Structure 1
Amino acid sequence: MSRESLSTTARWALTSLALSMLMPSLDTSIANAGLPVLAAAFEATFQQVQWIVLAYLLAITTLIVSVGRLGDGFGRRRLLLIGIGIFTSASLACALAPGLAWLIGARAVQGVGAAIMFALTVALVSDAVPKTRAGSAMGLLATMSATGTTLGPSLGGLLMAHVGWQSIFLLNVPLGLLNAWLVYRYLPADRTARTRVAFDYLGSGVLVLTLAAYALAMTLEGFTLALLLVSLCGVGVFVIVEMRAKAPLIRLSLFADLRLSGSLLLTLLVTTVMMTTLVVGPFYLSRGLGLSSAMVGVALSAGPLLSALSGVPAGRLVDRFGARRVVPGALLGLIGGCGLLALLPMSFGLPAYLLPVAVVAISYALFQAANNTGLMAGVAQDQRGVVSALLGLARNLGLITGAAAMGAVFAVATGGPTQAPADVIASGLHITFGVATALMIMALIISRTQINSGNCLPAMRPSDIDIDVD
């Protein structure tokens, strides 16, 4: 397949999208390394400063679909500029926070801006680059996401040690200003005129409360069952509301398409498994293999680093061979990597851990590029924002579910990893990644069903968008 070269404008437009993905990804993890410093600075407990991270993640998870849908009617480029402005301003507010409550609130507002950036960046790829380069562009965005997540803890620790905790938030101010200028200067103008959009406020409110209940059920102790019941009831209420809405937040008929529902389910399953390496890995490396804290950090960074480096090459493979061929191959790689982690004995040492993790990380980068490209290629122009947001939602829910569910599997298998001996930790790792392997086999079956369906996303009906022009 011939590869169309990018114009200078397209290159800068893609740079703006890459920066729009990097900034919120970086802030997903940059504060984690500094929680002890922030606890000391605000004289707070660990449980209190943990909300500096949770407030950001919860805002993204609960709002990403709503802002994606809003972008489809309001204008994606216009809304992205607003999101960058919110994110940058909130970052400055974080740096100026006089107390912990202020900082947590500012982080929640920062999460609103991040939700907009995450939701619209993938949707804007088709406006920025030719269709023949969409795979490479998606690969670049996957690289930026992985780079931000990988770089966050080390960069945050370095800045806090030598500059101060405020610097991890002030870093976003010049980056945000540069990003806003690049988006304004190089991204094509929205095709829609400035309009007043009939937005599904009731559906958005129900979805936000439902997702918040689920996310809190996965992160708070003592209220899990009650919050899960609330989230389950919320799903039922949301379906009823959307069926009756004049301009629904999510057109439920979309989920009848196996390409969309399959891609979202695959994203959730794969990110659930990817989170397993971050939940189980630290305990296995430290208590199982007896590595020092510094070596544990180095070993844990290997997977995200390989994902970052593999993003662009993965995108080129997608451009060459097509998403339908690459997705099953990526899932087979994930099955192989998880299977090795479930079988290799602890006596083989660190290489027996790093090699399978490398296979998993590279396969994950390949999956992201192929799955996102294949899905977005079949999406109508007026649906790109909401579908892109649904992908982001599936990813976030997978991360939260992986941390809770796979962490619970590991905890049960070890009887409590903080006190378990090395051989029990190793057994727990094998059992947990045995479950992960089963999930990836399930994903491969779903992928084959999805490919065999061969249908495309339905076009949005005119009645699904109600826009009043002043």
Structure 2
Amino acid sequence: MPMGVPAASPAGRWLIAGTVLGSGVAFLDSTVVNVALPAMARDLDTGLGGQQWVLDGYLLTLSALILPGGAVGDRYGRRRIFVIGLVVFAAASMACGLAPTSGWLIAARIVQGIGAAAVVPGSLALIDAGINESDRGRAIGLWAGMSGATSALGPFVGGWLVDAASWRWVFFLGVPFALGAVWIAVRHIPESRDTTVTGRLDIAGAAAITVGLTGVIYALIEGPARGWTATVVVAVVAGVGALVVFVVCERRADAPLLPLGLFRSWQFTGANLTTLVVYAALGGALFLLALQLQQSMDYSAFEAGVATVPSTVIMLFGSPLSGRLAQFTGPRLPMTVGPFIAAGGLALMARIVPGAGYLDAVLPAVVLFGVGMTITVAPLTAAALGAVDAAHSGTASGVNNAVARVASLLAVAVLPVVAGIDAGPDQPLGQGFSTAMYIAAICCAVGGVIAAASIRSGARVSTHVQPSVGHACQPPEPATGPR
């Protein structure tokens, strides 16, 4: 099938269905976990550190391996790696749901991230390779829209499952869908690979970035909780050393995961710095907001999930308009204005404290935050893609996506520490929550400043569609956006 099939053909519909189902499982899983964290903490007797690891265990392997996941699929078969990723994800999901201890759950979440790192890039690559060029944009748009709808359902479904049954069903839910995607892929999706790939796979780079992020995140989470013991010190030294080794590996590799030459472009660097600070604010704030609503304000899991839905709905339906607007204005204006509006929403979240009402405190904050992120996310990766030639757009998008994941990974580990939050199971977060929201607001506003200084007003805006995954407030962006 070298030229691809029409999207409306039976083969095309099967291909889209399989990839939507597969990636949708990863998207749904990423948006249902936040609201289930307090219930997990109660059941498994763990505190804030354990809750951080439940999120960061998944983000750690996803962040480190999403670039090699796409590269492995290109070399050894996109369908093969997609299916393997789904099987790993399904098995890890079962292990998560059966977890008797927090350590078991964290380990299973780490394995889940490995599976997702194969599924997420593979799903879009299969469509890109399997659908003919004239239908490809429509097929990717359909895939992205359905993935966004799946993400939007996450807070509803997760909160309802926690309240009606158990947090364990948050993980069990994805297993049949993942296995269904495996069946479709094996029966109806043809294999494809990139026959032009040259050079050895950058295994050393993948290993170095995984060790580096693991060491640093371990120290950031465990250091404040356990003190700077010998283990923590060794972890941070090994982590920083491995990150240095990663840079050396990328300089020398024949086919580097992170081509450092891309960063010679100030616009590419600026777009990724903007991504780093904006997505750090997003990831850290949403993590703590879910805990604040339940542990400090006595919301049920379902109520906490529903509370943030306005942001998701605004982004889901507003992103197409934002993407079209960015094509006329260029990405600089929305990337400058959007983060400042989102920062205003984060600052308002500091008012979400015990005694505050939903209509006067929660709703205005999440709505303003959603408007700001809607303005920002559609042109964000467009600026990164506009800084490189078309031949490197896939790599540039992958790098931007990885930066977004690393930003959330770091924020979940760092923000509670900096804000002075150290809450046990079901304990309120205290004044530290408001402090954290102000920090996140400043971080987000810095993103607007960086964009104003680095993004060209007339930069090219790509029409290639990318999804966004990782948070309830991250539906697909029609122009582009971190996956």
TM-score range with shorter-chain normalisation?
A: 0.7 to 0.9
Displacement, 1:259? Answer: 5.2
The residue aligned with 1:441 is 448
Q: 1:212 to 1:340 in 2, by over 3 A?
A: closer
Gaps of 5+ in 2: 1-5, 422-426, 463-483
Per the alignment, residue 217 of structure 2 pairs with 215
Q: In 2, distance between residues paired with 1:100 and 1:286?
A: 20
Quote the offset at 1:77 in angstroms: 3.4
Q: Identity, % of aligned pairs? A: 24
CA 1:379 to 1:344, structure 2 compared with 1: closer, same or farther past 3 Å? same
Residues 96, 171 of structure 2: 8 Å contact kept: yes
Residue in 2 that maps onto 1:7: 8
Contact 1:266 1:443 in 2 (8 A): yes
Superposition deviation, residue 139 in structure 1: 5.1
Q: Could you say which residue in structure 2 is the equivalent of 1:239?
A: 247
**1:252 matches 2:254:** no
What's 1:157 paired with? 162
Closer/same/farther in 2, CA of residues 387 and 256 from structure 1, 3 Å limit:
same
Where do 1:18-417 residues align within 5 Å?
A: 18-28=20-30, 30-31=32-33, 34=36, 45-46=46-47, 50=51, 51-95=53-97, 103-124=105-126, 126-127=128-129, 128=131, 130=135, 132-133=137-138, 136=141, 140=145, 143-144=148-149, 146-147=151-152, 149-151=154-156, 153-158=158-163, 161-162=164-165, 167-184=169-186, 189-192=191-194, 198-220=200-222, 221=224, 222-223=227-228, 227-258=235-266, 260-278=268-286, 281=289, 291-294=297-300, 298=303, 301-308=306-313, 310-311=315-316, 313-315=318-320, 317-318=322-323, 322=327, 325=330, 328-329=333-334, 331-339=336-344, 342=347, 350-372=359-381, 384=394, 387-411=396-420
Taking the aligned partners of 1:430 and 1:165, their CA distance within structure 2 comes to: 27
Q: Between Structure 1 and Structure 2, how many residues are aligned?
A: 436
Tell me if the contact between 1:146 and 1:305 (Cα under 8 Å) persists in the aligned partners.
no
CA distance in 1, matches of 2:406, 2:189: 30
With over 3 angstroms needed to count, the CA separation of the structure-2 counterparts of 1:333 and 1:320, relative to structure 1, is: closer
Query: What SS does the corresponding residue of 2:455 show, helix, strand or coil?
Result: helix
Query: What TM-score do you get using the length of structure 1 for normalisation?
Result: 0.73
Quick one: distance in 1 between partners of 2:187 and 2:389?
26
- Paired with 1:297 and 1:307, the residues of 2 have a C-alpha distance of 15
Q: Distance in 2 between matches of 1:352 and 1:181?
A: 46
Spell out, residue by residue over 1:3-38, the C-alpha distance to the aligned partner (whole angstroms, 9 max, x if none). xx9635555544433333321233335455555665
Matched residue of 2:83: which SS?
Answer: helix
Give me the whole-angstrom Cα distance separating, in 2, the residues matched to 1:247 and 1:78: 21
1:144/1:208 Cα in 2 relative to 1: closer, same or farther (>3 Å)? farther
Q: Check the 8 A contact 2:280/2:410 in 1, yes or no.
A: yes
Change (3 A) 1:110 1:353: closer
1:402–1:145 CA distance, 2 compared to 1 (3 A)? farther
Q: Following the alignment from structure 2 to structure 1, what is the Cα–Cα distance between the partners of residues 440 and 273?
A: 19
SS of aligned partner of 1:322: helix
Between the aligned partners of 1:299 and 1:31, the Cα distance in structure 2 is: 12
Checking the alignment, whether the CA contact within 8 Å between 1:210 and 1:230 is kept in structure 2 is yes
Aligned partners of 1:94 and 1:102 also within 8 Å:
yes
1:114 deviates by 1.2
The change in CA–CA distance for 1:111 and 1:445 in structure 2 (over 3 A counts) is same
**Superimposed CA distance per residue, residues 420-453 of structure 1 (whole angstroms, 9 cap, x where no aligned partner):** 4xxx976x4774355135323224325524x556
Mapped to 2, the partners of 1:367 and 1:270 lie a distance apart of 9
- Kept after mapping to 1: 8 A contact 2:156/2:305: no
- Aligned in 2, Cα 1:344/1:171: closer, same or farther, shift over 3 Å? closer
Q: Which amino acid counterpart does residue 390 of structure 1 have in structure 2?
A: V
* Deviation (angstroms), 1:195: 9.7
Q: Aligned letter for 1:436? A: C
Structure 1 gaps, min length 5: 457-470
Q: Alpha-carbon deviation of 1:185? A: 5.7
Per-residue Cα deviation, 1:80-137 (whole angstroms, up to 9, x for no partner): 2221122123334445667766554443322211121233345555445746548845
**Structure 1 residues 251 and 441 mapped into 2: Cα distance closer, same or farther (>3 Å)?**
closer
Provide the TM-score with structure 2 as the length reference. Answer: 0.72
Cα-Cα RMSD:
4.5
State the alpha-carbon separation in 2 of the partners of residues 137 and 326 from structure 1.
24
